[in-house]
Structure 1
Amino acid sequence: MASGRPLSTAEGFLCGGVAASIAVTVSNPAEVAKTRLQLQGELAKSGTQKVYKNALDVLGKTYKNEGIRGMQRGLGPAARRTVPYAYQILLNGSRLGFYEPFRRNINSLIGRRPDEQLASTAVLAGATSGAVGASLGNPLFLIKARMQAYSPALPVGAQHYYKNSFHALSTIFRAEGVRGLVRGIDAAILRTSMGSSVQLPSYNLTKNFLVSRDILPANSTWTFLASSAVSGVCVCIVMQPADTALTRVYNQPTVVGPTGKLVGTLYKNPIDCLWKTAKTEGLRGWYKGSTAHFLRIAPHTIITLTANDLIINLYKKIRDRDI
């Protein structure tokens, strides 16, 4: 990092949010494909007819039937972009901005040096910062997943049509109140905590390995790229089952339950979703859309973490220029 005082939590939050906003523009088409593959054949035995063969088939059919607008569902035209990018700032700003303060404080609590790199405290800090980000961004992630699942041409799973992000938020709030906006928050926390528990620790451990053995210099873009590539693979492997559960819990239809409140018709919670998926579709059901997930998470992780380091270095040079 550039010289000068360490970033404050607020500075880290903003830098991380900007980096993630750049990444989501590139990775969104793959996330649309991932979402639709995860919903295809939901709770159905093997042998059922498939709408999509694989990730590339989803992208090809989506572009053919829905154009660029379909490929970028969840981002939409300029008037709708504020909510998805706000989600990236809330989620990844929290994960990247809170990670280092959490890790340092946890180290201090157990009597270790704040700057010491420990795998255990890194994983715990990653999971905790991920849980914070997931909680803050849940309503926006909910509507993004539903908008990505919607296809007027080749629908899979339950279909929720919203004109734009703000229409989605108001529709859900009118129908279910605040409860509707926090639907699936347990699945979001599980998914993001699992991903965050390995993303930043694997990134930092890989970077430290490359630098400490003089394989690559500390502030090289190649160091950031190599470290984030390894991190992307780790995240995809660990997070995929929880990501599938999140998509399905978010997208499931709802009915009025015995208490008069809207409840999901398919799943009670993410664990129930994983159990029913494994029981009906086998463990392979947890990894539906894993290729699309990798195509989404690899560039997203690489761009987010590389851009985050580059943005931090640039920001610190500008900030500390007159010091």
Structure 2
Amino acid sequence: MSIERLKDEGTRQQVVIAGGIAGLVSRFVIAPLDVVKIRLQLQSHSLSDPVSCDGIKGPIYKGALNTIRSIVRQEGIRALWKGNIPAEVLYVTYGGIQFTTYRTITQAQALLPMKVPESVQSFVSGAGAGATATTITYPLDLLRTRFAAQGIDRIYAGLIASLRDINRHEGPTGFFRGLSAAVGQIVPYMGLFFTSYEFLHQRIGGKTLPFGSGDATAGIFASIFAKTAVFPLDLVRKRLQVQGPTRSRYIHTNIPEYKRGVIHALATIWRKEGYRGWYRGLTVSLVKAAPASAVTMWTYERVLHSLISTNRADEMWEIYTGYDDEYDD
């Protein structure tokens, strides 16, 4: 998916379809890891400090496997897919918007009078696509987090009920809690991800590795690099998303209250939990990000190429049948 190929390859509709399907497939594969990551990110007490665990009513998770076992044992295996409905809509919508915006910005940059380095084009396109898709789909992201953070005692009866409750008790702004952290995270993340992906894809993508695995490999390494760089903002975003009147009713009943924005939240977490507090859930996040990005990029490339090939076949058939008609006349 290099800059030159994006300028000419695939129609807007094909890009939307390919991006949406890629997001849908990716979400289905990594849904349980996503729930585990959210639970670990919302756990504010330090496992190395027993005093901080005193009085905690919710579970105390110790690593990804322990978290999975605890969730299945206490809430059932279906709990690993909590928040999957808004998440599926989020991933499909996000994927379509992201790839469409990326392609549009890339094509727009090609019209600039001055030549911009390809790495800079990738960064700008990725950052712009990520910020646009994040802002438009953010309410779905917030709902995904809140459903994943619910324990056995349900806070929201369902998706429609959650929309009504949040609007009634928190107002329209309640759907955008933590948006500044999300945009602050996604701009450098997507910029770094697409820049790294383009760099790696040119060297190991396509047919360099068997069965098209170069696309997946490039996606894995690009995602690990970008995810690690911006993870503290991702953690703050999750904690800000569960602020409000329901904050103490989630599986972790002691989620701190942050009233002064992203920077204050980062400083508070560092002061009370240490630097490790910024990276709670990083391991499972990287484990999740690798297959998610690999599946997303691999699926996107395959679906887009399939759509283009099908369209070309249809065009050839139309030309062929049209020629026969003229010949018969």
TM range (shorter): 0.7 to 0.9
- Equivalent in 221, 235, 240 of residue 249 of structure 1: 240
Residues 1:94 and 2:97 are matched in the alignment: yes
Flag structure 1 segments of 5+ consecutive residues without an equivalent: 76-80, 154-159, 256-263
Return the offset for 1:254.
4.3
CA 1:53–1:90 in structure 2 vs 1: closer, same or farther (change >3 Å)?
A: same
C-alpha separation in 1, matches of 2:122 and 2:45 = 35
CA 1:111–1:3 in structure 2 vs 1: closer, same or farther (change >3 Å)?
A: closer
CA 1:91–1:268 in structure 2 vs 1: closer, same or farther (change >3 Å)?
A: farther
Residues 1:67 and 2:76 are matched in the alignment: yes
C-alpha separation in 2, matches of 1:4 and 1:267 = 44
Residues 1:195 and 2:189 are matched in the alignment: yes
| Aligned twin of 1:274 | 266
C-alpha separation in 2, matches of 1:130 and 1:3 = 17
C-alpha separation in 2, matches of 1:44 and 1:107 = 51
Return the offset for 1:110.
5.8
C-alpha separation in 2, matches of 1:118 and 1:5 = 16
Q: Give secondary structure in 2 for the equivalent of 1:272.
A: helix
Tell me if structure 1 keeps the 8 A contact 2:14–2:308. no
Q: Give secondary structure in 2 for the equivalent of 1:232.
A: helix
CA 1:3–1:9 in structure 2 vs 1: closer, same or farther (change >3 Å)?
A: closer
Flag structure 2 segments of 5+ consecutive residues without an equivalent: 54-58, 247-255, 316-329
| Aligned twin of 1:299 | 291
CA 1:179–1:31 in structure 2 vs 1: closer, same or farther (change >3 Å)?
A: same
Tell me if structure 1 keeps the 8 A contact 2:17–2:96. yes
CA 1:306–1:65 in structure 2 vs 1: closer, same or farther (change >3 Å)?
A: same
Residues 1:147 and 2:147 are matched in the alignment: yes
| Aligned twin of 1:210 | 204
C-alpha separation in 2, matches of 1:199 and 1:305 = 11
Whichever of the two has the greater Rg, that structure is 2
| Aligned twin of 1:259 | none
Residues 1:174 and 2:168 are matched in the alignment: yes
Residues 1:109 and 2:112 are matched in the alignment: yes
CA 1:317–1:206 in structure 2 vs 1: closer, same or farther (change >3 Å)?
A: same
Residues 1:22 and 2:25 are matched in the alignment: yes
Moved more, 83-92 or 222-231: 83-92
CA-to-aligned-CA distance 1:88-135 (integer Å, 9 cap, x gap): 12222222221122123234336227xxx6112211211111000110
Q: Give secondary structure in 2 for the equivalent of 1:252.
A: coil
Tell me if structure 1 keeps the 8 A contact 2:142–2:241. yes
Residues 1:322 and 2:325 are matched in the alignment: no
Return the offset for 1:246.
0.6
C-alpha separation in 1, matches of 2:186 and 2:205 = 28
CA 1:202–1:69 in structure 2 vs 1: closer, same or farther (change >3 Å)?
A: same
CA-to-aligned-CA distance 1:187-233 (integer Å, 9 cap, x gap): 22122223211222212211101259x8447xx42111211121221
C-alpha separation in 1, matches of 2:100 and 2:6 = 19
C-alpha separation in 1, matches of 2:33 and 2:302 = 24
> Which has more helix, going by share of residues?
2
Between the two proteins, the alignment pairs up a number of residues equal to 297
CA 1:274–1:8 in structure 2 vs 1: closer, same or farther (change >3 Å)?
A: farther
Equivalent position amino acid for 2:181 in 1: A
CA 1:296–1:4 in structure 2 vs 1: closer, same or farther (change >3 Å)?
A: closer
Residues 1:51 and 2:60 are matched in the alignment: yes
| Aligned twin of 1:85 | 88
CA-to-aligned-CA distance 1:250-297 (integer Å, 9 cap, x gap): 012349xxxxxxxx9423322222121112212211111001111211
| Aligned twin of 2:227 | 236
CA 1:177–1:4 in structure 2 vs 1: closer, same or farther (change >3 Å)?
A: closer
| Aligned twin of 2:126 | 126
CA 1:11–1:3 in structure 2 vs 1: closer, same or farther (change >3 Å)?
A: closer
TM normalised by structure 1 equals: 0.83
CA 1:280–1:107 in structure 2 vs 1: closer, same or farther (change >3 Å)?
A: farther
